[in-house]
Every structure is written in structure tokens, then in C-alpha cells.
Amino acid sequence: MSYLSNTKFDVIIVGAGPAGSTAAYTLAKNGLRVVVLERGRTAGSKTLYGGRVYSKPLEEVYENFRKEAPIERWVKKERFSFMSNGELLTLEYSSTDSTSFTAYLSRLASWMAQKAEEAGAVIVTDIRVDDLYLEDGVVKGVRCGDEVLRSNVVVDAEGVNRLILERFGMVPKLEKRQVALGLKQVIRLDASKIEGRLGLAAGEGLAWLIVGEATGYLPGGSFLYTNSSTISLGLVVFLEEAYQNINQHVFNILEDLKQKQSIKEVIADGVVIEYGAHLTPEMGLGMSPKKMYGDGLLIVGDAAGLLLNLGYTIRGVDFAAYSGYLAAKTILKAHSMGSYNSESLSFYQKLLEESFIMKEMKKHKKITKLMRSNEMFTIYPGILLDTVKKLFEIEYSSPTILQALRNSIKGKTSLLKLLWNIFRTFF
Ligand SMILES: Cc1cc2nc3c(=O)[nH]c(=O)nc-3n(C[C@H](O)[C@H](O)[C@H](O)COP(=O)(O)OP(=O)(O)OC[C@H]3O[C@@H](n4cnc5c(N)ncnc54)[C@H](O)[C@@H]3O)c2cc1C
């Protein structure tokens, strides 16, 4: 610790998740003195996610990413299902190419931290940052207990809880409506069983998202991702809606899901080897601070609310890592000018706005709203499955699609409301 408090770093980074380590890697590679402070025992030990990451942004930042990163399987098959009364309506897409992979986030984050270390960054684990350290209102480092660690600029990559930013008054206290609760089990299973049961060729990966009964009809979704010889199974439920409507422990919803025939068949003989829970930002731009910079400060990743949940896919890791990369580019520019005030660091916001991150978050603003509508998760899965059942389970006469839909809707909602919801989501 005395070495740390006696050294003035160019940059202090709080948190060794994908955002913090990617910022550290980019800065150290360009010759800046960087230290990453992580409260977990190892980099990645405190991070948790479902299991699929989009690779392109990471390939742009890390050389030889495809060869070196701890990738489990490249996703070649996508499934999206509505579940109701144990029955499934599934859309399946098989691709010859792949833009995403499955991985353990703990290993991926630890690999990123290792890359940062190899580039010259110092990674210190088992240390908690308590506060930002200010001189004349300007961030000049951090406080860890009684110690002050000094730097020209601090990158806040502390993740979704963002307690440091809250104490600093940069963001309000986290509210239930802004976050979702994620639960995940890792289940060990032979690769041949994973592939045989899910119709995958050797080495191929699957990403499967399920809504409706899979979350006990709560707004959110369940996920199943295939790793080399494990399956990641879990769910994400919006905290506010869960809080209002839940009548059992979330843990039991996941256990119930494991008993549904379609999931039970896949995980049979599997052994749970890991269990975790974590919050995730879910308000789209509603959770992002208006200014993601200050005098001597930049905010990246989940702490900045940079996550997109579209229901059929979730993007957090690539957004986090790329925002870390953009923060690093901003600091390198500020370093060359010798100024770390908010005016110089506002360049980060400009880069973010021009990047795919903000463009994606703005483009999909409406779908993020629909994700909060109860009907999407409570009524619609049942209506869809009932409609399909009427179309396929024929005795003598078969209904037209409209007749089947009308009959399934009866007493639950109106056709007009359903069509309006579809319209306002996509147009
Ligand atoms: C259940 C679930 C499923 C998800 N599924 C996916 C998915 O499939 N694909 C995807 O791309 N994203 C997914 N995400 C989102 C993804 O995990 C996050 O967006 C991503 O991890 C954010 O990275 P980050 O570096 O900003 O924060 P984090 O990964 O949370 O890292 C923050 C780090 O800061 C450290 N820290 C916090 N406070 C302090 C402090 N005071 N002092 C020192 N260190 C501190 C923490 O220990 C942690 O290591 C999922 C999230 C959840 C919860």
C-alpha cells in the first residue's frame, strides 16, 4: 500500500471488470502509468453474466483476440422461445458464421486484466476504493481507508452498484426500476451430451432466450448458453416488477424452470458447479448520467448504465469493454495536451455518442420500454402458444390464423391493443 500511496499514477481505474481492464490495457500499451484497483480476490471474481459476448468490438481493441481469448464456443445456433404451461413456441436460427461466443466472464475478465498487466499496468486486488479524492473540487485520486492514492485522472469502472459515484453526488441512489436481478447456475455436462441434445456439431455453441413461464411470467427472460462442457442456465427479472408481483423466491423460479420438460431433457445428469446472483442496469439511457465525465473523472461500463437488453439478446460486456477503450483514447488525448479538466475529458462523451454504443441504445429505446410491459411476459406468451396450438392440433376443421388468434385473445386482451403494442415497438 505504501508503494501505491507514494506513487503518482497517470490514471487510477476502479474495478477490474471488462470496462476497467480494457481501459487499463489501452492506456498501458500507450505508455501511461496505470493502476487498477479491484476489491475482489482476483480480477473477474466479482463479475457475473449470462454467457454470450459479441466479438467485433473486442477484436478491434485486442490483437489476436480470436486466437488468445478464453472462448468456450462460437454461437452458431440462436433460439428464442415463448413458454407457457410447459409448452414452447420457438424460433430457431442456424448460422454458418458467428459474431458472438460463449465464455466464463470470470475467465474473460481475468484474461483482459492479464493483457493489461503484460502491457505494463499494475493490477492490485483485494483492495476497496471508498471514495474519490478531491483537491479544489477536482478529482485527483481515490481514498482506500485512510490512504490516499493520487493520479491525474480516475476511471470509474465499478459496475452497476456505483456506490462511489453515488457518494460523490454524480448519480442518484439506485432505484428498483433501474435494475434487474440476474441469477445463474453453471451445470457441468459432457460435451457430447450438450451437442447431442441441442443438435449442435462438435464445438458449436447455442444461445437460447426464453420468456413467459420461464421467469414465472415476470418481466425479464431466462437464458441457456452452452460452454465447452458446461451449460449456463439462469434468468434476469426486472426488480421493480418482480418486487410487486412475485409470490415466491427467485431461486425457486429457476428451480421450476429446471423441471420443465424442454430444459430437464437438456440438463439431465448435469451437476451444478457454480451459483451466482448479480444486478444489471436495465433502464437503457434512463440509467446513464447526463455527463459521463467530470474534472479528472470518467465513467465507463455498467457504472455508466451502458447495457442493452433486447429480450432476444443482451449486450453488456462488449459495451463495457468498448467504453473503456474510448475512455482510454480520451485520456491519451488529454495527456498529450496536459489537461484533465472536464472540458478535455468531455471528448469521451463525443466519442461515445459517435460510437455504436450510443447509437444502439438510442435506436432501441422503444423496445427497452416494451420490455417493461407486463403483457409481454404475462399474457402474450400464452396467447401465442394457444394460437399455434389451435392451428396445429386439428381434429376435423382447422381455424384461419385470424380466428385462432381472436379465440386465444378472448377475455385476455383486445386485438387492437396487441396490434398497437406491436406497432409502437417496431415503428
Ligand atoms: C445475470 C446476468 C447476465 C448477463 N448476461 C450477459 C451476456 O450474456 N452478455 C453480455 O454481454 N453481458 C451480460 N450481462 C452484463 C455484463 O455482465 C455487464 O454489462 C458487464 O460485466 C459490465 O462490465 P463492467 O466492467 O462495467 O462491470 P463489472 O463486470 O461489474 O466489473 C466491476 C468491477 O468493479 C469492482 N468494484 C466495484 N466496486 C469497487 C470498489 N469500490 N473498489 C474496487 N473495486 C470495485 C467489482 O468487484 C468488479 O470486479 C449480464 C449481467 C447479469 C447480471
Is 345 part of any domain?
Answer: yes
Looking at per-residue confidence, does 36 or 247 come out higher?
A: 36
| Count of domains forming the chain | 2
**With the CA atoms of 309, 315, 319 and 321 taken in that order, what torsion angle do they form, in degrees rounded to the nearest 10?**
140
Same domain, 324 and 403: no
Q: What is the pLDDT of residues 140-192, one digit of tens each?
A: 999 999 999 999 999 999 999 899 999 999 988 888 888 888 999 999 999 99
Average pLDDT, the chain: 91
Burial class (CB within 10 angstroms; exposed 0-12, middle 13-18, buried 19+) of 329: middle
Is 8 part of any domain?
Answer: yes
Same domain, 19 and 146: yes
Same domain, 17 and 140: yes
Residue of 278, 317, 360 best suited for mutating to test ligand 1, as the one with most atoms within 8 Å of CB: 317
pLDDT at 32: 98
Same domain, 294 and 419: no
Same domain, 131 and 16: yes
Is 82 part of any domain?
Answer: no
Same domain, 125 and 31: yes
Nearest alpha carbon to residue 60 among 299, 298, 272, 355: 355
Is 307 part of any domain?
Answer: yes
Same domain, 292 and 358: yes
Provide mean pLDDT across the span 12-37.
98
Same domain, 296 and 406: no
pLDDT at 3: 66
| 48/278 Cα distance (integer angstroms) | 6
For the CA of 316, the closest atom of ligand 1 is 19
Tell me how far the alpha carbon of residue 15 lies from the centroid of ligand 1, in angstroms: 9
Is 326 part of any domain?
Answer: yes
pLDDT at 400: 94
Same domain, 148 and 112: yes
Same domain, 415 and 391: yes
Kindly report the protein residue whose alpha carbon is nearest to atom 34 of ligand 1. Answer: 15
For ligand 1, residues with CB inside 6 Å are: 14-20, 37-40, 46-53, 105, 128-129, 157-159, 164, 182, 184, 234, 236, 278, 280, 301-303, 307, 314-318, 320
Is 248 part of any domain?
Answer: no
Same domain, 22 and 126: yes
Q: How many CB atoms lie within 10 A of CB 56?
A: 12
pLDDT at 283: 67
Q: Does position 61 have pLDDT exceeding 90, yes or no?
A: yes
Is 348 part of any domain?
Answer: yes
Kindly report the protein residue whose alpha carbon is nearest to atom 22 of ligand 1. Answer: 302
Burial class (CB within 10 angstroms; exposed 0-12, middle 13-18, buried 19+) of 293: buried
Q: What is the pLDDT of residues 67-86, one digit of tens each?
A: 999 999 999 999 999 999 88
Kindly report the protein residue whose alpha carbon is nearest to atom 14 of ligand 1. Answer: 49
Q: What is the pLDDT of residues 358-393, one digit of tens each?
A: 999 998 877 766 666 677 788 888 898 999 999 999
**What's the domain range around 399?**
379-426
Tell me how far the alpha carbon of residue 279 lies from the centroid of ligand 1, in angstroms: 9
Is 152 part of any domain?
Answer: yes
pLDDT at 114: 97
Could you write out the DSSP letters of every residue in 63-129? TTHHHHS---EEEEEEEEEEEETTEEEEEEEE-SS-SEEE--HHHHHHHHHHHHHHHT-EEE-S---
For the CA of 164, the closest atom of ligand 1 is 41
Tell me how far the alpha carbon of residue 270 lies from the centroid of ligand 1, in angstroms: 27
Q: Where are the alpha helices (DSSP H) in 155-249?
A: 163-168, 191-198, 239-245
Give the strand pairing for 147-156 and 297-299.
Answer: parallel
pTM: 0.92
pLDDT at 66: 95
| 45/52 Cα distance (integer angstroms) | 18
